[in-house]
Amino acid sequence: MKSHLLIALTVWGLAAAGPALAARNAHDHGHGAAAVTLQLNAGQKWETDAPLRAGMGKIRQAMAGSLQAIHTHKMSAKAYDDLAKKVHSAVGQIVAQCKLPPAADAQLHIVIADLLVGADQMAGKVKGVPRVNGAVKVMGALEAYGTYFDDPGFRVIEH
């Protein structure tokens, strides 16, 4: 997955240009205008590796620990900044260490794009988008990961 670091960083950069643009173009490599969507691997969840499972577990833990404050609208800007840093850090570790087959990796990039867009929104880097929307985006990415990737220890956060 190291070879895809540039792609992940590009997606992260697109997040600053606007969440809609990043979500729409994160995986458009000039093969048409159709949006890329998550899908199962012939009806099965995509394989994972230890670095991916560890990183997604860190993101899940950070989000679960902040859920009450997010739901009650008591998250401070600093708390959102700190949460965004945790997401960015975990994504960086995933990108640097994860080694999935190309098809699974391509699917993972969809989840990573949403994680990065959400983290940037939580960090207040997207003008006009409330920080809470970033938390919702990250939660959606975690739910997608749990739905499409085979990580037996991962549990979607009930909210």
C-alpha to C-alpha distance for 30 and 124, rounded to whole angstroms:
30
- The answer to whether residue 92 sits within a structural domain is yes
C-alpha to C-alpha distance for 2 and 49, rounded to whole angstroms:
14
pLDDT of residue 158: 86
How confident is the model over 71-101, as pLDDT tens digits?
999 999 999 999 999 999 999 999 999 999 9
Which residues sit opposite 41 in a β-bridge?
Answer: 44
Domain count for the chain: 1
Q: Which structural domain range is residue 116 located in? A: 1-8+50-154
- The answer to whether residue 56 sits within a structural domain is yes
C-alpha to C-alpha distance for 16 and 29, rounded to whole angstroms:
19
Three-class secondary structure of residue 48 per DSSP: coil
Distance separating the N- and C-terminal Cα atoms of the chain = 31
- The answer to whether residue 95 sits within a structural domain is yes
- The answer to whether residue 24 sits within a structural domain is no
Domain of 141, CATH number, reads 1.20.120
φ and ψ at residue 41, rounded to 5 degrees: -90, 90
State pTM to two decimals.
0.79
